[in-house]
Structure 1
Amino acid sequence: MEKKTRNLIFGLFWMLLASSNLCIDGLNIWPMPSSLKYGAKTLYLSKDFGLDTVGSKYVDASSTLKDAFQRLLDIVETAHAIDTNSTYYNPSLLLKGMRVVISSPNDELQFGVDESYKLSIPSSGNPIYATLEAPTLYGALHGLQTFSQLCHFNFTTRIIEVRQAPWNIIDQPRFSYRGLLIDTSRHYQPLPIIKNVIDAMAYTKLNVLHWHIVDTQSFPLEIPSYPKLWNGAYSPSERYTMADAAEIVNYAKRQGINVLAELDVPGHALSWGIGYPSLWPSSDCPEPLDVSNEFTFKLIDGVLSDFSKVFNFKFVHLGGDEVDTSCWVMTPHVRKWLTKHGLNETEAYQYFVLRAQQIAISHGYEIINWEETFNNFGNKLSRKTVVHNWLGGGVAQQVVAAGLRCIVSNQDKWYLDHLDITWQQFYMNEPLTNITNLQQQKLVIGGEVCMWGETVDGSDIEQTIWPRAAAAAERMWTPYDKLAKDPRQVTGRLSHFRCLLNQRGVAAAPLTGRGRAAPEEPGSCYKQ
């Protein structure tokens, strides 16, 4: 087939798709809200569109709401120059501002916080105000994100429009935990890059940044109690101070996102021994951490103590995956310790994980562990454990049947570093597969897409994450009965959202092709 003919056919396909009712009557909101009603009028954003909080119990002492409102204005106006003197619009259709009414005065961000909101935009009034009601600040932040997607630049009038008024949207998330993992050990990610990822998470209503900070390859984080740990960083400049970590936590909180810190033990910890070699069973066999050395657990206690001063999320992730215990039996002093305590290597693995759990609990944390801990000794885990599935399907079903909570991240569908996994597969991956008991369904607290860092750094992380992570975000936010049964039904809407991310400065890749794909040829953003 000649290239011109192929391009014509491809272009016609996308034109037909975009004009079909598969975009839900042309509504381009992502993720799709729980409930919405709309009309046919067009309103115009006033040049002095403002924030009104009269009647709200929330006192914005931290300026979080004020800053979020300013971000809203910035992102809807960022792509074009607004003509504030335009006379095209009807003054009676001017949208003067937004009234935000928040029921709770508390701005604590924690797991399970109420993230629901109601957004109404009337089509008439004198003056016309949008109203955003939410039980908490964090529901209001989501409402602002939805409102931002209702705003469109009109190239004739040069002003911002809100089309299809009146609007009535009632919305809340399907799952309380909607995560994205980033890995700063395999490649260092500068703070501005991490902040860019957080911004895009807020656009998609993801609410947990799982920060896999350290691993075998590097230990970039400052630990004040044990300052030699970050000797394991790649270089002196590829490090994070504790002040940097606090900055990330605060930046994320102001957008309704918790930061989950991970300390992966006892495996994946070779870099720890660069500063403290006694943590290794031996220099020839350095991983996993030495189970026979009390200093190992003293250091873990110190690290988690320092974590608790900065990472204030309810959970800490303690890893526990891919533990090869052969170094323990090959190293004479560790083997002697195993014999003395009557433990084989599998029992020593259990001992290590459970002891680390108790240390974390002593610092006020509940624990998340990778699924190998459940697969090997699930009935021994603390009841405060959340099992993090990654190896494949069916694990969540077993975990909740055992009465434990679960996070779903099965690698065959939700690993972003697997570039062969398409956005369609991300969208269709269902965390509650084969879990029909309602009480057991509640134990699946959510899901997480994982951006492991072996092949991403600051140059390509965004296009590897987006838009595939956005596809999973709708799966985690939107009620099950509102999700598309065929991903072709949302192609046009996701394509529109991907282009919106680009317009907001997020390097989201085209929908076509494999993960991290580049545009194949010239053409519209909406056709790629």
Structure 2
Amino acid sequence: MGKITVTSLLLGILIHVIVVYADVKNLNIWPMPSSVSHGYNTLYIAKDFKLRTYQSKYADASGILKDGFTKLVDIIKGAHVIDYNYPGSSSSAILQGIHVIVASPSDELQYGVDESYNLDVPMQGKAAYALLKAQTIYGALHGLQTFSQLCNFNISTRAIEVRQVPWTISDQPRFSYRGLLIDTSRHYLSLPVIKKVIDSMAYAKLNVLHWHIVDTQSFPLEIPSYPKLWNGAYSLEERYTMADAAEIVRYAQRQGINVLSELDIPGHAQSWGVGYPSLWPSDKCMEPLDVSNEFTFKLIEGVLSDFSKIFKYKFVHLGGDEVDTTCWEKTPHVSEWLKKKNMNGTDAYEYFVLRAQKIAMSLGYEVVNWEETFNHFGNKLDRKTVVHNWLGGGVAERVVAAGLRCIVSNQGKWYLDHLDSTWQDFYMYEPLTNITSPAKQKLVIGGEVCMWGEHIDASDIEQTIWPRAAAAAERLWTSSNQLAKDSQDVYPRLSHFRCLLNQRGVAASPVNGYGRNVPSGPGSCYQQ
């Protein structure tokens, strides 16, 4: 009898495991957690759903957790009118609130911060609370985002339900760097638009806003050390004060998102010379910045010094891509300088990049450069350089073989302005392709989807980013053993997430078709 009982017990456990595994494919959580199990019962959110924090070392002096909880309640209500007198409202199937325990008292946000969390939602009980444990407040914020996706408004009862309880979720990111680039040089983006992008990033657990602030076309940011620089803005209205930039950093930080600022130099900098023409090699040759002029480097130091007061992320992006040195070689005074220094254009390109790196590092930054710098003189780059891949595949493999770190943004797969790239392309692209050594894999710090702004402004940015960015977000967050081998296995779940974004006011385009797609005709959101 004892043997039969044990056998039956083991069989029951095996059946339970199989059922949970089969259900994971159809769970409407995005990105998929590292480990998840659930039951088949339902709880109802209490009218006075509460946040409890006793036993937590995090005092929430800055209100990050309180704000995160308030946002949680707002998004699970979804602007619906809730009827708290629904059938069963007096039963024991009520979830009274969520108890959050954070181990670290610090709310410092920096690269590599612990973003793990554990979430448990009980089956029932008159005083039932969900339990969320995390090492840091930022792991707790991710847990709140996951909890929000467990909640549903039941149109029949007018109540908010947590279905499939009990839940046990253990989760942590696969990569520490999960980025989205926005470009405010090609088209200005207002602060409310940028904040909406930040909100949507948090929903998908992306954690770095790469702010490509200036470029050839415009210089919209105030630089107190050199106040004429923003003369290169499109108009007086299309500018950011330093206080605006600080507000973006503050707003992002409160949602667990770092801001990576970029100065793309020495190319892509024509707009700098509107205010300071001496930065141009000549009035007929306006970029790259004049490598022969000491004022160029003095100004760069001033800009980065001002940056360091606002942008506290440990990395700064110094560009370095698409530098055509012909201008230097054809401009008489620069050409003469090259001869005196015994340099050609390629040598001067290296000189410029390395000198700019030293300036940034003297201010406490570690530098990110686009991959051309590595392709041309990788062995000369500072060993703390992070190489940003964009031109194609195989780059990360070469970068980590050289002992440098890498961010992956293969333009054929993760450029959002490439409207012919489908969400399947985004989902199936693997940053660690052909990198098998664990030590080398650690040098790939993550990846980034890029929303270049030549044809993007406030009118179409959200539908161009989403839902394709979400496909990459799962690739960067979810453990490799949980990632689907066939993109079609996640289609229903991504479709559900896209509709969830729409319900939260994010203009995510339909899943079917290419980027920035439109509905094919009348029909349910879940079938587009």
Is 1:320 equivalent to 2:320 in the alignment?
A: yes
Separation in structure 2 between the aligned mates of residue 23 and residue 454 of structure 1, nearest angstrom: 42
* C-alpha contact 1:133 1:140 (8 A) present in aligned 2: yes
Indicate the residue corresponding to 2:198 in structure 1.
Answer: 198
Indicate the residue corresponding to 2:304 in structure 1.
Answer: 304
| Deviation of 1:89 (Å) | 3.6
Q: Percent identity?
A: 73
Is 1:36 equivalent to 2:36 in the alignment?
A: yes
Indicate the residue corresponding to 2:164 in structure 1.
Answer: 164
Is 1:218 equivalent to 2:218 in the alignment?
A: yes
Question: Aligned Cα RMSD in Å?
Answer: 1.0
| Deviation of 1:88 (Å) | 3.6
Separation in structure 2 between the aligned mates of residue 508 and residue 236 of structure 1, nearest angstrom: 31
Provide Cα deviations, 1:53-86, integer angstroms capped at 9, x if missing partner.
0000001101110000000000010242111233
Provide Cα deviations, 1:150-179, integer angstroms capped at 9, x if missing partner.
000111110100001010000000000000
| Deviation of 1:49 (Å) | 0.5
Provide Cα deviations, 1:327-378, integer angstroms capped at 9, x if missing partner.
1000000001000011111000000000000000011000000000000000
Task: Specify the code of the residue in structure 2 equivalent to 1:201.
Answer: M
What are the residue-to-residue correspondences of 1:381-420 with 2, within 5 Å?
381-420=381-420
Is 1:183 equivalent to 2:144 in the alignment?
A: no
Provide Cα deviations, 1:371-417, integer angstroms capped at 9, x if missing partner.
00000000000011000000000000000000000000000000000
Task: Specify the code of the residue in structure 2 equivalent to 1:209.
Answer: L
Separation in structure 2 between the aligned mates of residue 422 and residue 514 of structure 1, nearest angstrom: 5
What are the residue-to-residue correspondences of 1:145-294 with 2, within 5 Å?
145-294=145-294
Q: Does the residue aligned with 2:42 lie in a helix, a strand or coil? A: strand
| Deviation of 1:481 (Å) | 0.9
Indicate the residue corresponding to 1:6 in structure 2.
Answer: none
Indicate the residue corresponding to 2:339 in structure 1.
Answer: 339
Separation in structure 1 between the aligned mates of residue 228 and residue 328 of structure 2, nearest angstrom: 24
Indicate the residue corresponding to 2:453 in structure 1.
Answer: 453
Indicate the residue corresponding to 2:372 in structure 1.
Answer: 372
| Deviation of 1:184 (Å) | 0.3
Separation in structure 2 between the aligned mates of residue 469 and residue 459 of structure 1, nearest angstrom: 18
* C-alpha contact 1:23 1:490 (8 A) present in aligned 2: no
Task: Specify the code of the residue in structure 1 equivalent to 2:174.
Answer: R
Separation in structure 2 between the aligned mates of residue 499 and residue 23 of structure 1, nearest angstrom: 20
Indicate the residue corresponding to 2:141 in structure 1.
Answer: 141
* C-alpha contact 1:88 1:157 (8 A) present in aligned 2: no
Separation in structure 1 between the aligned mates of residue 518 and residue 37 of structure 2, nearest angstrom: 37
Unpaired stretches in structure 2, ≥5 consecutive residues: 1-20
Q: Does the residue aligned with 1:91 lie in a helix, a strand or coil? A: coil
Q: Does the residue aligned with 1:252 lie in a helix, a strand or coil? A: helix
Indicate the residue corresponding to 2:12 in structure 1.
Answer: none
Query: Which deviates more, 23-32 or 306-315?
Result: 23-32
* C-alpha contact 1:50 1:98 (8 A) present in aligned 2: yes
Separation in structure 1 between the aligned mates of residue 451 and residue 82 of structure 2, nearest angstrom: 37
Q: How has the CA–CA distance of structure 1 residues 348 and 280 changed in structure 2, closer, same or farther, with 3 Å as cutoff?
A: same
Task: Specify the code of the residue in structure 1 equivalent to 2:266.
Answer: P
Is 1:101 equivalent to 2:115 in the alignment?
A: no
Task: Specify the code of the residue in structure 1 equivalent to 2:389.
Answer: N
* C-alpha contact 2:280 2:287 (8 A) present in aligned 1: yes
* C-alpha contact 2:121 2:130 (8 A) present in aligned 1: yes
Provide Cα deviations, 1:209-239, integer angstroms capped at 9, x if missing partner.
0000000000000000000000000000000
Provide Cα deviations, 1:440-474, integer angstroms capped at 9, x if missing partner.
00000000000000000000000000000000000
Task: Specify the code of the residue in structure 2 equivalent to 1:131.
Answer: L
* C-alpha contact 1:174 1:478 (8 A) present in aligned 2: yes
Separation in structure 2 between the aligned mates of residue 24 and residue 36 of structure 1, nearest angstrom: 8
User: How many pairs align?
Assistant: 508
Is 1:501 equivalent to 2:504 in the alignment?
A: no
| Deviation of 1:514 (Å) | 1.3
* C-alpha contact 2:154 2:161 (8 A) present in aligned 1: yes
Q: How has the CA–CA distance of structure 1 residues 22 and 126 changed in structure 2, closer, same or farther, with 3 Å as cutoff?
A: closer
Separation in structure 2 between the aligned mates of residue 347 and residue 341 of structure 1, nearest angstrom: 10
| Deviation of 1:22 (Å) | 8.1
Indicate the residue corresponding to 1:129 in structure 2.
Answer: 129
Moved over 6 A (4+): none
* C-alpha contact 2:115 2:173 (8 A) present in aligned 1: yes
| Deviation of 1:87 (Å) | 3.6
Q: Does the residue aligned with 1:92 lie in a helix, a strand or coil? A: coil
Separation in structure 1 between the aligned mates of residue 501 and residue 404 of structure 2, nearest angstrom: 37
Query: Which deviates more, 306-315 or 116-125?
Result: 116-125
* C-alpha contact 1:79 1:503 (8 A) present in aligned 2: no
Indicate the residue corresponding to 2:4 in structure 1.
Answer: none
What are the residue-to-residue correspondences of 1:10-21 with 2, within 5 Å?
none
Separation in structure 1 between the aligned mates of residue 206 and residue 489 of structure 2, nearest angstrom: 22
Q: How has the CA–CA distance of structure 1 residues 448 and 429 changed in structure 2, closer, same or farther, with 3 Å as cutoff?
A: same
Q: How has the CA–CA distance of structure 1 residues 404 and 25 changed in structure 2, closer, same or farther, with 3 Å as cutoff?
A: closer
Separation in structure 2 between the aligned mates of residue 435 and residue 374 of structure 1, nearest angstrom: 18
Q: Does the residue aligned with 2:92 lie in a helix, a strand or coil? A: helix
Task: Specify the code of the residue in structure 2 equivalent to 1:246.
Answer: A
